[in-house]
Amino acid sequence: MKQFKCLLPSGIEFGPGKINSLPEMLPGGTTLLLTDKGVAASGIVSRVKERCQAGSEQVHEFMDVPPEPSEDQVAEVVEKLSNLNVRAIVALGGGSVMDMAKLISIMLGDGPNITNLFDGKLPRKRSLQLIMIPTTAGTGSEATPNAIIYRPSLQLKVGIVCDAFMPDRVILDPELITGLPAPITAATGMDALCHALECYISNKANLLSDMLAIEAIRLIFKSLKKSYADGSDLEARADMLLASFYAGICIAASGTNGVHALSYPLGGRYRIPHGISNAILLAPVFACNKDACVDKLAAIAHLCGKDIHGKTEEQKVDAFVGFLEELSRDVGIPTRLSELGVPSDDLDEIVEAALQVKRLLDNNPKPLTRDEIHSIYSSIL
Ligand SMILES: NC(=O)c1ccc[n+]([C@@H]2O[C@H](COP(=O)([O-])OP(=O)(O)OC[C@H]3O[C@@H](n4cnc5c(N)ncnc54)[C@H](O)[C@@H]3O)[C@@H](O)[C@H]2O)c1
Ligand SMILES: [Fe+2]
């Protein structure tokens, strides 16, 4: 029997207009509303700010969270906010904003600095209320105890895992993401698909993560292309938000592996957006992994809608992996690393960097050798 441990937010609200419940979640006092410039430009911040004001004495807005922040940028933001005495943080944004909110929530005041966190000096609790409102679908960060930070010295993105990062409340409101641009819809939706698929074949997969991963995969196959083609399709947006949340729980209960491990050096060195570097690796990593999980993949192959009746397990899995490649192309994801500025001369160094992401490679259904990693990258150069 596969055991699991997983924390969940203590309250989750899902549905159009659920943002209206925000005031009753706030403890009063000063609320920090954290977001970034892209979200601010989408025009949803005033509605959320108004809801923050209804539940607080004072609202402090910070709209400058950098995309996929580095450790220095985290320290800078904490420094800028250090004089605030806040009782709640409302994170309105994608993974970049939500991860920054998690870090700030334990670092403000007398909390640890970023070096302490990398050294594993993690607090068990935090004193302020943390509310997450995802505006991409997405990282599922609202359901994980993880924060991902870029470490320039290593040219790598690194995850910090801390129970105190778990949000108290989560609002999944599809009305807030109808303005998400199509390319970001595509990249973030493919990230959610990677979470669900990797967690489903992970060495740590279990009955909870399998159930949620399969449902997330079904929802994403049903609604990613729809929400990419028509951002105002509220039902498709709702499917994607829920799928991303489910896949986030899967990350916490199971774990990502090969795709994310090989993606981190690409995000670190070339600053390729997280969802894109994952999407481009998804089909080749699954093609390499398939021998180790034929039965599991064959069992969900029908979800892709291809006619697999009467096929062998291997044929079903090949059809499924082919579908993953088509889906990525259909939502406009580049197919070649060279299009994203990755020179072939760097290949050996990228392979070595990927081999360092042991935390995730250990979850892969089979050990990936140096040669296998090399040929995965080569196949998409
Ligand atoms: N903590 C976790 O469990 C976890 C899991 C996966 C990824 N991550 C991390 O999350 C980060 C990526 O997050 P992301 O993919 O959500 O992207 P993001 O948060 O960086 O946002 C991407 C872009 O979309 C814009 N945007 C977001 N919502 C919008 C909206 N509604 N309308 C218009 N524009 C909007 C942002 O301004 C930004 O420019 C990476 O650092 C990644 O490593 C964390
Ligand atoms: Fe991810």
Q: How many CB atoms lie within 10 A of CB 206?
A: 18
Domain 11-177: give its CATH code: 3.40.50.1970
- Enclosing H/E stretch for 79: helix 71-80
Find out whether the beta carbon of 144 lies less than 6 Å from any atom of ligand 1.
Answer: yes
Find out whether the beta carbon of 177 lies less than 6 Å from any atom of ligand 1.
Answer: yes
Q: How far apart are the first and last CA of the chain?
A: 40
Identify the pLDDT of residue 118: 94
Find out whether the beta carbon of 96 lies less than 6 Å from any atom of ligand 1.
Answer: yes
- Å from CA of 322 to ligand 1 middle: 27
Q: Which numbered atom of ligand 1 lies nearest the CA of 188?
A: 15
- Enclosing H/E stretch for 115: helix 114-118
Pocket test for ligand 1, best of 7, 19, 36, 176 (most atoms within 8 A of CB): 36
d(CA 230, CA 196): 23
pLDDT in tens, 196-226: 999 999 999 999 999 999 999 999 999 999 9
Find out whether the beta carbon of 129 lies less than 6 Å from any atom of ligand 1.
Answer: no
Q: Which numbered atom of ligand 1 lies nearest the CA of 67?
A: 20
- Å from CA of 95 to ligand 1 middle: 4
Cβ proximity of 187 and 273 under 8 Å: yes
Identify the pLDDT of residue 110: 87
- Å from CA of 316 to ligand 2 middle: 26
Please, which residues have CB less than 5 A from ligand 2, an ion?
191
Which bound ligand lies closest to the C-alpha atom of 144? 1
Which whole-number Å values give the CA distances from 278 to 68, 116, 275, in the listed order? 14, 29, 5
The strand ranges marked E within the chain are 11-14, 30-34, 58-62, 88-93, 129-134, 146-151, 156-161, 169-172
Burial 145-182 (b: 16+ CB within 10 A, else e): bbbbbbeeeebbbbbbebebbbbbbbbbbbbbbbebee
Largest CA distance in the chain: 66
Sign of torsion over alpha carbons 82, 88, 94, 99 = positive
182-380 adopts what CATH topology? Dehydroquinate synthase-like, alpha domain (1.20.1090)
Domain residue spans of the chain = 11-177, 182-380
Tokens of 206: 């279990």
Q: Which numbered atom of ligand 1 lies nearest the CA of 260?
A: 6
Low-confidence ranges of the chain (pLDDT < 50): none
